[in-house]
Amino acid sequence: YNDFRTSLELASNVAGSMNGKMYCPVIFWMQGEFNYDPNPEKGLRANVPNTTDKQEYKRLLIQLKDNMQNDILKQYGQQEKPVFITYQTGAQYMRDTLAISMAQLEASNEYADIICAGPIYPMTDRGGHLDANGYRWFGEMSTIRQRCRARPLNLCNLPRL
């Protein structure tokens, strides 16, 4: 997280040196895969396991969102919080549970400033990590979804036949 804060400071300094100002309208958060596989040594602190629990992941995700937004507001002096766009972890990373992807979806349903941009499994990748075209396609889809305020992966109505 210190790298994130350092990048905010450096960007602000560069903009200031050119008589400019920084503004951050959106934060893209693409993470969750690591939390499907328990790791006894690599959690938030050394030698602490990572979380695979839905409620804890959601709590940590919301805390991270709030921290990032507040640091951006403070560093850039902007008034509007950036929108937090996440995706739903899935495909080859999921195991026998939907815990992390459901935490991401629930957070987007509960917080107006979190947008779930959907899954990445239809995107092109190299071993599970998006390649250049996969990131481009995901970015284009995310922009369209934000403009339309679409809510992917939510069943709104299922009439009986």
Q: What is the pTM of this model?
A: 0.84
**Higher per-residue confidence, 93 vs 57:** 57
What single letter denotes the amino acid at residue 57? Answer: Y
pLDDT digits (tens, 9 = 90+) for 50-73: 999 999 999 999 999 999 999 999
78 is written with which tokens? Answer: 């902007």
Q: Cα separation of 57 and 54, whole Å?
A: 5
| E-strand stretches of 3-146 | 26-29, 83-88, 114-119, 125-126, 129-130
